[in-house]
Amino acid sequence: MKKKIAVIGLGYVGLPLARLFATQYQVVGFDINKNRIAELTKGTDKTLEVPDEDLQAVLVTDFNTNAKGLYCTDALQDVADCTYYIITVPTPVDKNNRPDLTPLYKASESVGSVLKKGDIVIYESTVYPGATEEECVPVLEKHSGLQFNKDFFAGYSPERINPGDKEHTIEKILKVTSGSTPEIGIQVDELYKSVITAGTHLAPTIQVAEAAKVIENAQRDINIAFVNELAKIFNLLNIDTHAVLAAAATKWNFLPFKPGLVGGHCIGVDPYYLAQKAQEAGYHPEIILAGRRMNDSMGHYVASEVIKLMLNHDLKIKGASLLVLGITFKENCPDVRNTKVVDVIQHLKGYGTSIDIYDPWASPEEVMREYGLVTIDSMPNKKYDAIVLTVAHQEFITLDLDVLKADAAAVVYDVKGILADKAEAKL
């Protein structure tokens, strides 16, 4: 049977996937965001995950063509004749850090309304184990009137892409696959295997694949929480944490994690999905939630360390002029979702300081919309009492910080530990 693939949600995950499948299959990319569709149809990706020339190479404008390629649309009827539906919509947490499955339910309703006998719906969004079959499949059944594992089938294949990483691109990352029956597992696996050059790992069940993804990110969160705790201890002892980590890393099995702010919508969010499911099952996760608490405390900690450094340099805090370098949640990437730099800024503002935020990657409009903060995307022509490097964008590594300092007492605080002796203190 000819494969026609719908990708539902064309964000950081969906677009690279749709682009990759479109090199071999007929793909329809569907997104409810009209602006996103307009931008993609013009051949530009503002997330910078897919280079414009790669996007333009697969884009097709004729929806009725049988040729391979990617057709982007916000009209649901355009995906009606697909046989595979791959759902890559956001899975955030609410203000109480509880999983918010609304986008998944909505996408499942949409797909359910066009589902036909024999179709396979594959979820890629990060969820807790059980979410696909317990939460999403009933919505598909309700809106299609079809019966699960008889009329239609499901799969789960978690995404592992790393935004901003131009080396580990989607086809080079081994992908875990799964299906709602053993036969469908093989079919889903073969679909991904046909485009992922790094290969696939077929998990025995959907729940196993869901659990595998969520623990990958929970493990990173806990490891970073551990080095953040080390940074707090070594700062009290006046020992250079980065020097300690470099020394320890000479042992073959020491894991090279660095202290820092844990933002974004993966590492800082996914552990809450697992924690919720654990609590529903009657287990209160101790280590997972301790890791979250530690990492969520780092914005406040960094701000208080900056203030301490300024006081040690006899700088007046109230009214001091500060420059924060970077607002995105990670380096060399425009994604500002759930960035913890905002915590640093809020706490520093609480001391009465005046703050400029410079980020050459972030969209000032998006930062204003998300956080109500003004950012500048070109180098400021001002002098500052303190400069706080929060994100390791490539532009900052070679920046001449001396020209930005108000006087000899001005200080630089390096959250990322990349400035060597250009900083008075680092995390």
Which residues sit at the interface with ligand NAD, rule CB under 6 A?
A: 8-14, 30-33, 36, 88-91, 103, 106-107, 110, 124-126, 159, 161, 163, 265-266
Closest CA to 294 of 269, 266, 261, 264: 261
| Spatial separation of the C-alpha atoms in residues 64 and 181, rounded to whole Å | 32
Instruction: Specify the residue for token string 């184990």.
Output: 129
Which residue, judged by CB position, is nearest to ligand NAD in the bound state? 11
The reply to whether 333 belongs to the active site is no
* Alpha-carbon separation of residue 190 from 35, 187, 200, 297 (angstroms): 33, 5, 9, 43
- In the complex, minimum distance from the CB of residue 321 to ligand NAD, in angstroms, rounded to a whole number: 35
Shortest Å distance, C-beta 41 to ligand NAD: 14
Smallest gap from Cβ 131 to ligand NAD, in A, equals 10
- The per-residue b/e assignment along 171-190, b for 16 or more CB within 10 angstroms, e otherwise, is eebebbbbbbeeebbebbbe
Structure tokens at 216: 């990958």
Task: Output 242 or 330, the one with its CB closest to ligand NAD.
Answer: 330
Distance between CA 301 and CA 328 in Å, rounded? 18
Q: What is the dihedral of CA 4, 9, 11, 16, to 10 degrees?
A: -10
Rounded alpha-carbon distances, angstroms, from residue 288 to 9, 123, 269, 283, 375: 29, 24, 11, 12, 34
- Phi/psi at 371 (nearest 5 deg)? -125, -5
- Closest approach, Cβ 102 to ligand NAD, in A, equals 8
Name the minimum Å distance from CB 335 to ligand NAD.
7
Q: Is 267 or 315 the residue whose CB approaches ligand NAD more closely?
A: 267
Backbone angles phi and psi of 237, in degrees to 5:
-90, 5
- Burial code (b: 16+ CB inside 10 Å, e: under 16) for 40-58 equals bbeeebebbbbeeebbeeb
CA 35 to chain centre: 21
Q: What angle do helix axes 241-248 and 206-236 make, rounded to 10 degrees?
A: 130
Catalytic residue from among 72, 82, 266, 333:
266
Q: Shortest Cβ distance from residue 126 to ligand NAD (Å)?
A: 4
Cβ at position 249, least distance to ligand NAD in Å: 25
C-alpha 318/C-alpha 361 separation (Å) is 29
Report the residue number, 9 or 129, with the smaller CB distance to ligand NAD: 9
304-307, long-range: CB < 8 A, 24+ apart: 304/347, 305/235, 305/413, 305/425, 305/427, 306/344, 306/348, 306/386, 306/388, 306/413, 307/348, 307/351
Gap between the Cα atoms of 373 and 217, Å rounded:
29
Nearest residue (CB) to ligand NAD, 214 versus 388: 214
Greatest C-alpha distance within the chain: 74
Instruction: Give min distance, CB of 125 to ligand NAD, in A.
Output: 3
Considering beta carbons, is residue 40 or 412 the nearer one to ligand NAD?
Answer: 40
CB nearer to ligand NAD: pick between 13 and 327:
13
Name which of 106 and 193 has its Cβ closer to ligand NAD.
106
Cβ distance to ligand NAD smaller for residue 10 or 389: 10
The residues annotated with a catalytic role in the active site are 266
